[in-house]
């Protein structure tokens, strides 16, 4: 029987009981209770304030589907500047304006690669960040029917064209689809258009 314990007295570090193999996962329960149970290890655990105490077998019995569906996730943020405007929209966003955008990309995998990673953060930066730098950063992202397009072309200004209004939702989807097409295990992309508003495109759950 494996028991996982954690207590504030142990400085928040999960304690791995002797005898638990390295392949055993550690599970954190949100329960906080004072236990008077006898420690099977004889280390006076009944004097500590417990945050977690359970057996793997009971966990599996309670939450078998969660156990089987457990995944690793990594998240990387990529920043870029862009301009846009919305067609057929009655509001400030119908005018040309810009944003300091933050794309937050999440990737998931049921197991890790040989390096112990879902995906290397630097690979995300180099591949997807590179594509954003080349195609979206410091560019106007415009609907392909935008009547201002001929003028931008005449001036030699770089543009990125979309089939629908270039909203935060559209740009999140654009980045998601690029990442997926490049073979990344992307599950979600959020595009923060401002400090307090973002849109997300993700796999349905
Ligand atoms: Zn905007």
The predicted-structure confidence for 44-76, as pLDDT tens digits, reads as follows 444 444 444 444 445 555 555 666 678 899 999
Clarify whether residues 12 and 83 are in a common domain.
Answer: no
Q: How far is the CA of 126 from the centre of ligand 1 (A)?
A: 26
Domain boundary among 15, 44, 62: 62
By the CB criterion, residues less than 5 angstroms from ion ligand 1 are 93
Q: How far is the CA of 119 from the centre of ligand 1 (A)?
A: 31
Clarify whether residues 112 and 190 are in a common domain.
Answer: yes
The predicted-structure confidence for 7-37, as pLDDT tens digits, reads as follows 444 444 444 444 443 333 333 333 333 333 3
Q: How many DSSP H helices and E strands does the chain contain?
A: 6, 11
User: Which residue(s) pair with 191 in the sheet?
Assistant: 103, 199
Strand ranges (E), 66-173: 72-84, 97-109, 139-143, 159-162
Q: How far is the CA of 128 from the centre of ligand 1 (A)?
A: 22
Three-state DSSP state, 115: coil
Clarify whether residues 52 and 78 are in a common domain.
Answer: no
How far apart, in whole angstroms, are the C-alpha atoms of residue 98 and residue 95? 10
Clarify whether residues 134 and 188 are in a common domain.
Answer: yes
Mean pLDDT within 110-134: 96
The Cβ of residue 168 has, within 10 Å, a number of other Cβ atoms equal to 21
The Cβ of residue 7 has, within 10 Å, a number of other Cβ atoms equal to 20
Evaluate whether residue 101 is within a structural domain: yes
Q: How far is the CA of 6 from the centre of ligand 1 (A)?
A: 46
pLDDT tier, 94 (very low <50, low <70, confident <90, very high otherwise): very high
Q: How far is the CA of 97 from the centre of ligand 1 (A)?
A: 6
Which residues are tagged catalytic? 93, 138, 193
């Amino acid at each position: 029987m494996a028991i996982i314990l954690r207590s504030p007295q142990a400085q928040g570090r999960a304690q791995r009981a002797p005898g638990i193999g390295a392949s055993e996962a550690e599970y954190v329960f949100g329960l906080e209770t004072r236990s008077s149970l006898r420690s099977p290890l004889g280390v006076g655990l009944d004097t500590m304030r417990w945050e977690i105490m359970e057996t793997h077998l009971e966990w599996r019995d309670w939450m078998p589907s969660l156990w089987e569906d457990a995944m690793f996730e990594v998240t990387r943020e990529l920043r870029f500047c862009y301009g846009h405007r919305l067609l057929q929209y009655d509001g400030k966003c119908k005018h040309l304006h810009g944003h300091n955008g933050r794309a937050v990309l999440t990737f998931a995998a049921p197991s890790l690669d040989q390096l112990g990673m879902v995906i290397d953060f630097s690979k995300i930066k180099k591949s997807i960040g590179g594509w954003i730098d080349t195609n979206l950063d410091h560019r106007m992202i415009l609907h392909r029917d935008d009547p201002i397009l001929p003028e931008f072309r005449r001036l030699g200004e770089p543009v990125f064209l979309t089939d629908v209004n270039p909203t935060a939702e559209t740009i999140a989807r654009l980045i998601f689809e690029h990442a997926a097409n490049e073979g990344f295990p992307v599950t979600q992309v959020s595009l923060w258009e401002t400090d307090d508003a973002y849109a997300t495109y993700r796999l349905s759950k």
